[in-house]
Amino acid sequence: MPKNINDMDMFIFICLCLWSLNGVFVADAVKSESVTEGESVSLNSRFTQIQTHEDIEWRFGDILIAKVKNNKNVFYDIDKESFKDRLKLDQTGSLTIINSRTTDSGLYTVSSSSRDTINTINLTVYARLPVPVISSNSSSSSSSSSCSLVCSAVNVSHVTLSWFKGNSVFSSIRVSDLSSWSDLLLHLECVDDSYSCVLNNPIRNQTQHLNNTQLCQTCAAVCIHYCGFTEAVIRLALSALVGVATVAVLVYDIRSRSLQQKKSVQKYPSDSD
């Protein structure tokens, strides 16, 4: 038995080392893994080796999906058909999921015949991100018209759609639920080429850069076509007012100069007078 605190610490340390050498680890907090659908992902069993008479099991939620027995016989007990032909186990008991799907997202636990739970992993499989689409958009009413660019992403989940100006976010919108699928639209007035539209989730992003020359000129032309009658009248009236004001200023300037010249002649008559 240990005689003091230091001896106790050393005794515990040695026990833990011996325990780990047998291939069994103390379970830590839930680990997180993320992957894009279609990719393979490996879930670590935390075994360094599997003992001859050690049995381990992998579960997805409460469903048994894979098992290793006697370190030689490896077989898959597929209660969930979606995993069929997509699972592999290596010699350490680590589980590989091939061609991952969004339905594979969830909690995975590995246990052994000598310990209930060895590792717990929360796997998130994100859907592939489409490239966002930028298009011109216009609308009009009897009193006004508007023109803008629209960045869109169709049938997406757990993503953020953003307009960037350089490296800074200008505006954004998001779908936060992994299981909720939505169409996203984000508007922007016709601007210069420093803007780009980005669709991203926690592990990937897709970017579409703005081609201002191609889109904004088209957008402006459409806006002119759809300008409302009232707006056209207002613009015409403003133009007329500007013209009248310009003429008035010119007339006033000419009359002022003429009057000043007359006063100068009266005050300083010529020698002949």
Q: Report the CATH number that the domain containing residue 117 is assigned in CATH.
A: 2.60.40.10
Are the C-beta atoms of 254 and 262 separated by less than 8 Å? no
pLDDT in tens, 172-199: 999 887 777 888 888 887 777 788 999 9
User: Do the domain assignments include residue 178?
Assistant: yes
| Pair of tokens at residue 231 | 């707006």
Which SS3 state, helix, strand or coil, does residue 156 take? strand
Please report which confidence band the pLDDT of residue 246 belongs to, taking 50, 70 and 90 as the band edges.
Answer: confident
User: Do the domain assignments include residue 14?
Assistant: no
Q: Is the pLDDT of residue 27 over 70?
A: no
- Give the domain-ending residue among 197, 213, 229: 229
- Give the domain-ending residue among 72, 93, 126: 126
Q: What is the pLDDT of residue 63?
A: 85
Per the listing, tokens 């907090």 go with 29
* Mean per-residue pLDDT, 62-70: 83
**Of 100 and 23, the one with more pLDDT:** 100
User: Do the domain assignments include residue 37?
Assistant: yes
| Pair of tokens at residue 18 | 């011996």
CA separation for the pair 272, 266 (Å, rounded): 13
User: Do the domain assignments include residue 76?
Assistant: yes
Q: What is the pLDDT of residue 34?
A: 95
CA separation for the pair 182, 27 (Å, rounded): 38
Q: Which of 39, 185, 30 is closest to 126 using CA atoms?
A: 39
User: Do the domain assignments include residue 3?
Assistant: no
Please report which confidence band the pLDDT of residue 51 belongs to, taking 50, 70 and 90 as the band edges.
Answer: low
**Of 66 and 121, the one with more pLDDT:** 121
pTM above 0.85?
no
User: Do the domain assignments include residue 83?
Assistant: yes
In 70-194, the DSSP E strands lie at: 73-75, 87-89, 95-97, 106-112, 119-126, 133-140, 145-156, 159-165, 168-175, 182-188
User: Do the domain assignments include residue 267?
Assistant: no
Are the C-beta atoms of 182 and 176 separated by less than 8 Å? no
Residue 207 and residue 145 share a domain: yes
Please report which confidence band the pLDDT of residue 235 belongs to, taking 50, 70 and 90 as the band edges.
Answer: low
Percent of the chain past pLDDT 70, that is, above it, reads 63
Residue 141 and residue 111 share a domain: no
Residues paired with 36 in a beta bridge: 126
Residue 153 and residue 77 share a domain: no
User: Do the domain assignments include residue 257?
Assistant: no
* Mean per-residue pLDDT, 26-48: 85
Give the sheet arrangement for strand 195-200, strand by strand.
168-175, 159-165, 195-200, 205-209
**Of 215 and 234, the one with more pLDDT:** 215
Residue 54 and residue 107 share a domain: yes
Residue 170 and residue 105 share a domain: no
**Structural domain harbouring 52:** 28-126
CA separation for the pair 36, 33 (Å, rounded): 11
Please report which confidence band the pLDDT of residue 46 belongs to, taking 50, 70 and 90 as the band edges.
Answer: confident
Q: What does DSSP assign to residue 177?
A: -
Q: Which of 52, 220, 65, 235 is closest to 147 using CA atoms?
A: 220
Highest mean pLDDT among 128-142, 161-175, 246-260: 161-175
Percent of the chain past pLDDT 90, that is, above it, reads 27
What is the bridge-based pairing of β-strands 41-43 and 56-60? unpaired
CA separation for the pair 164, 209 (Å, rounded): 9
Are the C-beta atoms of 199 and 121 separated by less than 8 Å? no
Residue 122 and residue 173 share a domain: no
Q: What is the pLDDT of residue 18?
A: 46
Residue 58 and residue 106 share a domain: yes
Cα-to-chain-centroid distance, residue 195 = 16
Residue 95 and residue 172 share a domain: no
Residue 108 and residue 52 share a domain: yes
Which SS3 state, helix, strand or coil, does residue 224 take? helix
Q: Which of 262, 222, 25, 235 is closest to 138 using CA atoms?
A: 222
First to last CA, the chain: 137
Structural domain count, the chain: 2
